[in-house]
């Protein structure tokens, strides 16, 4: 049986958002006879917290397909300081590159990420003071309550922005004060960036309705105090206890990060047949860790840690022990009491600084991959002797790494390039720049890498993608009109049974056919005295082939029928319009779009007047900046920041100007079908 486990963030793909404020019950709608005192208590609680409730919109990056893809999502948060600090979840804002917070009154304020902690799933963002409409007015602030005093059966209010809608409130009761991930979900059930959130957090379970988008929103008691930060929905809602959330937020606000101790202990509840009445079972000890150096072994029963009695009879007890260990000062020598084979012993353990579970994904475009540096834990888990090397995390299909022979694969570790050691990503970037500088095409490099226990070599061609060589089509004569085959059935229906040829379906304005008097409905039967042998649907190329046998500028005569009367037209054949493949095109990797000049076919098929000046959007990269702005392939770009874009050169110039200025917003004015609209592209300049 496969289980699923859901966070309560929501991906935003665009929706109409209305402003509404309401309180709903998770169990039943309010009754007319509902206790007035309870109603007043709810009103007071809402009034105390609701003004500080924010809806958080973020642009986040994530590694996929060899690149850092960008996507929009939304969550919730609450203002917790007068300076504008907002608490939310790591999975909402921890990887955000652009953050906008929306207040209950509709005001939108940009924010920056102060710091994040994936292990507790807590992040803090700060509202930009210069982004406020009324910077002098004090911000509303929500206050924390004591989560240790929360009891099963307490009424609580879940506040947030479900499914990215405007701020809302739901009501329920506390169902569980020590909720953890059920064991049958498996050890990988709830990991964020490699961190096991369940090892630290015991949720406050409640039945107030929460949905995607509630993540990061406060769980509030009837005194209007934050007692939890909503995080998960697994049937019941789950909130991170406020005492833990506040402690983490305070550290982030003070230093921008959370520092924790590491011992190398991997503990679990005592086995059922264990005769020891109290204690925690040591299930594993990481080699060369502080615990290993102290002499602890699997099978030991810990009874005291740094002067604190410790016990874990069931899995719900473990997070409390883990919090104790992680919060111990780094580098502190502590006493650990344990039972080994029935005998007590006391050992001295010196804690070390805990590193992140895994490195941050980074994109290397010239390699067509994303990669990570090793951390202590990620190196240990791969049984590596040190943290040297670059770990390949995702690859671009058809990119330099996957095209190599043998190809580099996900999970491989790059150790050297052209004989130079690659200890980390910065070294790989430096070597790549040195090799490719001034080169227009890809450059082959010799790469040494490891795959499990194998040491492999391959040649990877890195650098810029070579330009696409579009074949130039030979120019042949062209009839500026569209036609259909005069089939046997059609010729009989039109009263010209037995005739072969074509019927004119469109005459292009301003060209030779129109000037010669050709009209829709004309039947063309001969070209310069030669019959047009077209009578089957598959004969559509008969007339174009006859025309192309003539030179451009040749004067030709068509004979045919119009309104059952003989018709004779003379015109000069023209050069065909430039095909789309030969029109000027600009591909912009920074904004992840491509545009080209409008073709003749574009204008004809889309009924675009010749006076309209613009360029056609013919590529929008998935999860790129242009895609986030909702730009579509086929849109016609008419202006950028109010300046007309009559051609590709102008678009390139205006986009380059935006890069030089590092513009916060770039307004595209586009035509889509019969509609025109403005789209705002909001790049983050710290992303490649």
Picking from 533, 528, 553, the residue whose alpha carbon sits closest to that of residue 543 is: 533
Rounded-to-integer distance, Cα 204 and Cα 574, Å: 77
Residue 687 CA: distances (Å) to CA of 192, 243, 364:
21, 35, 12
Pairs from 583-591 (Cβ < 8 Å, separation ≥ 24): 584/647, 584/648, 584/649, 585/618, 585/648, 586/648, 586/649, 586/651, 586/652, 587/619, 588/652, 588/655, 589/365, 590/625, 590/655, 590/659, 590/683, 591/624, 591/625, 591/626, 591/655, 591/666, 591/681, 591/683
**Active-site residue, selected from the candidate residues 73, 215, 432, 491:** 215
Q: Which residues of 296-308 are buried (b: 16+ CB within 10 A; e: fewer)?
A: beeebbbbbbbee
- Give the residue among 612, 610, 613, 615 at the shortest CA–CA distance from 586: 615
Spell out the residues 6+ positions from residue 498 whose beta carbon is closer than 8 angstroms to its own.
491
Cα 448 from Cα 460, distance rounded (Å): 10
List residues bridging with 60 in a β-sheet: 71, 96
- Is 215 among the residues known to form the active site? yes
CA–CA–CA angle 650, 653, 658 (5° rounding): 125
Is residue 308 flagged as an active site residue? Answer: no
At residue 315, φ and ψ (nearest 5 deg) are -60, -30
How is 555-571 classified by DSSP, letter by letter?
EEEEEEEETTEEEEEEE
Is 209 designated active site? Answer: no
In this structure, the number of other CB atoms found within 10 A of the CB of residue 387 comes to 16
Q: Give the burial class of 292: count Cβ atoms within 10 A of its Cβ; 0-12 exposed, 13-18 middle, 19 or more buried.
A: middle
- Identified catalytic residue from 57, 85, 90, 91: 91
Q: Please give the distance of CA 20 from its chain centroid, rounded to a whole number.
A: 28
- The active-site residue out of 121, 317, 412, 522 is 121
> In the block, which residue shows the tokens 């009761």?
173
Measure the CA–CA gap between 123 and 60, rounded to whole angstroms: 14
Among all residues, which ones are annotated catalytic?
A: 91, 121, 215
């Amino acid at each position: 049986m496969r289980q699923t486990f859901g966070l309560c963030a929501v991906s935003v793909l665009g929706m109409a958002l209305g402003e509404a404020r309401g309180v709903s019950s998770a169990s039943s709608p309010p009754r007319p006879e509902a206790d007035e005192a309870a109603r007043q208590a709810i009103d007071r609680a809402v009034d105390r917290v609701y003004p500080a409730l924010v809806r958080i919109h973020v642009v986040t990056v994530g590694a996929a397909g060899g690149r850092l893809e960008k996507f929009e999502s939304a969550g919730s948060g609450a203002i917790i300081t007068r300076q504008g600090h907002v608490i939310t979840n790591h999975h909402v804002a921890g990887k955000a590159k652009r953050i906008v917070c929306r207040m209950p009154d509709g005001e939108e304020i940009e924010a920056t990420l102060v710091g994040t902690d994936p292990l507790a799933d807590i992040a803090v963002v700060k509202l930009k003071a210069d982004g406020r409409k009324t910077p002098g007015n004090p911000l509303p602030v929500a206050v924390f309550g004591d989560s240790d005093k929360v009891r099963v059966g307490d009424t609580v209010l879940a506040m947030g922005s479900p499914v990215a809608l405007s701020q809302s409130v739901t009501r329920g009761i506390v169902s569980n004060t020590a909720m953890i991930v059920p064991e049958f979900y498996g050890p990988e059930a709830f990991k964020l960036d490699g961190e096991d959130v369940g090892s630290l957090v015991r949720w406050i379970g409640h039945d107030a309705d929460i949905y995607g988008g509630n993540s990061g929103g406060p769980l509030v008691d009837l005194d209007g105090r934050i007692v939890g930060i909503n995080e998960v929905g697994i049937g019941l809602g789950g909130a991170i206890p406020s005492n833990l959330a506040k402690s983490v937020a305070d550290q982030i606000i003070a230093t921008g990060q959370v520092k924790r101790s590491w011992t190398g202990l991997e503990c679990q509840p005592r086995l059922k047949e264990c005769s020891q009445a109290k204690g925690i079972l040591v299930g594993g000890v990481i080699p060369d860790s502080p615990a290993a150096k102290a002499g602890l072994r699997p099978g030991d029963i810990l009874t005291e840690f740094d002067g604190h009695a410790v016990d874990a009879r069931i899995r719900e007890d473990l997070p409390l022990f883990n919090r104790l260990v992680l919060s111990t000062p780094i580098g502190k020598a502590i006493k650990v009491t344990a039972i080994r084979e029935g005998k007590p012993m006391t050992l001295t353990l010196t804690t070390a600084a805990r590193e992140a579970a895994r490195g941050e994904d980074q994109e290397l475009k010239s390699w067509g991959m994303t990669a990570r540096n090793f951390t202590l834990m990620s190196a240990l888990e791969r049984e590596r002797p040190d943290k040297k090397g670059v770990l390949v995390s995702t690859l671009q299909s058809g990119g330099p790494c996957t095209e190599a022979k043998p190809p580099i694969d996900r999970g491989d570790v790059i150790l050297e390039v052209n004989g130079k050691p690659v200890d980390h990503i910065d070294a790989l970037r430096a070597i790549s720049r040195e090799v490719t500088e001034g080169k227009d095409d890809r450059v082959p490099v010799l790469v040494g890498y490891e795959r499990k226990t194998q040491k492999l070599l391959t040649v990877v061609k890195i650098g810029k993608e070579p330009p696409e060589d579009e074949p130039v089509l030979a120019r042949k004569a062209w009839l500026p009109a569209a036609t259909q085959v005069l089939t046997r059935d059609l010729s009989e229906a039109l009263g010209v049974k037995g005739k072969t040829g074509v019927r004119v379906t469109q005459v292009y304005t301003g060209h030779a056919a129109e000037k010669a008097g050709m009209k829709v409905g004309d039947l063309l039967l001969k070209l310069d005295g030669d019959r047009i042998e077209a009578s089957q649907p598959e004969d559509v190329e008969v007339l174009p082939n006859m025309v192309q046998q003539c030179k451009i500028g040749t004067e030709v005569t068509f004979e045919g029928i119009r309104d059952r009367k003989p018709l004779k037209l003379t015109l000069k054949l023209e050069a065909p319009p430039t095909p789309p493949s030969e029109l000027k095109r600009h591909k912009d990797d920074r904004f992840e779009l491509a545009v080209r000049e409008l073709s003749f076919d574009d204008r004809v098929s889309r009924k675009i007047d010749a006076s309209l000046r613009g360029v056609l959007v013919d590529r929008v990269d998935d999860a790129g900046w242009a895609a986030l702005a909702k730009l579509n392939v086929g849109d016609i770009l008419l202006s950028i920041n109010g300046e007309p874009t009559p051609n590709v050169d102008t678009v390139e110039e205006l986009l380059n100007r935006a890069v030089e200025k590092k513009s916060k917003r770039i307004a595209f004015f586009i035509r889509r079908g019969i509609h025109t609209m403005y789209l705002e592209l909001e790049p983050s300049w710290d992303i490649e």
